[in-house]
Amino acid sequence: MNDQDIMREIRGSDEEKLLMALAAADGPFSPSSAAKALGTDERTALIADQRLEDLGLVSPDKRVAHVIALTSRGRALAGSISRSRKAGPDRWDAVQRAIVRSVLSDTDDAVVSVDGVAVTEEERRLAVTKLEDWRLVKVLRGWGGTALRLLPQDRIYEVAGIDGLLADHYEREAAYTDNRITTTFGDGSTVGGVQAGGTGNVQKVTQTVGATERAQILFLVGSALAEVGPDGPAELREALNAIKEAAAPDKPQRDSLRDKIAQGVVVAGAVDASQTVLQTLAAMLGLV
């Protein structure tokens, strides 16, 4: 097993915690020292110790019974983990997860530091780009491309249950082989998806809007256009007409329609639209 595979296997585990504690202590550990480092009992510490021994990362200190010390490979791997936490995959993952938590708590502007280290604007930008690529968040952008707010997508709630790096999970999912399937529901909406091969049987889906939702959205967008009137802001009328156009097909794509409505919300806010228009757009967003 190479170092990257080992890092992936022990990430977030007692084994990783013990390895890093040994590196920080710069000396051997007794069973009681290992237990203290893990905040657990000696039996649990011994299990972690044995796994690290099996991986060749620690070895018994022959001078003292039941004492372990890092091997050269263990020390090198601890250094790799430390660097990853400072400016590598583990750091990026920590920032991504912090942003996910902040979006779910509706405080997406509150992520200023992670693990006591300030989050740079570039780190935030890259993290948000990845989260959007993985369809975990929707970025509402103002004119000129400025991100105004992050909205959670449905699948964001699965993040808490994902072990390891989010990148490993979602990039692997994206690489699965496609096998097309389509399911039609009673309301007329469909799910056209990709049934992935291999373990886990992950299904990636493209959803369409049902007939009832479509009719409601068309009614609401018509009401909003009437509220704005022919003399209203041109950019707002354009955004509303884009929603109407996206909802026009018999089975509109849900993601595309959601994007148009979200953009309408941004435009409405930028031109100080009436509360009625804003509430109507919010109602449409709730339907998709």
How far is residue 236's CA from residue 273's CA, in Å, rounded to a whole number?
A: 8
**What was the pLDDT predicted at 199?**
46
Dihedral sign, Cα of residue 198, residue 199, residue 201, residue 205 = negative
Q: What are the pLDDT digits (tens) for 199-254?
A: 445 444 557 777 777 888 888 888 889 889 888 899 999 999 999 999 888 888 88
Q: What are the pLDDT digits (tens) for 101-117?
A: 998 888 767 788 998 99
**What was the pLDDT predicted at 34?**
92
Q: Is residue 81 within 8 Å of residue 18, measured between CB atoms? A: no
Cβ count near 46 (within 10 Å): 15
Q: Which amino acid is at 171?
A: E
Q: What is the pTM of this model?
A: 0.57
**What was the pLDDT predicted at 206?**
55
DSSP code at position 80: H
**What was the pLDDT predicted at 270?**
81
DSSP bridge partners of 139: 150
The DSSP secondary structure of 124-184, one letter per residue, reads HHHHHHHHHHTTSEEEEE-GGG-EEEEEE-GGGGGGGG--S-HHHHHHHHHTSPP-EEEEE
**What was the pLDDT predicted at 95?**
95
Which residue ranges of the chain lie beneath pLDDT 50?
176-200, 202-204
**What was the pLDDT predicted at 37?**
92
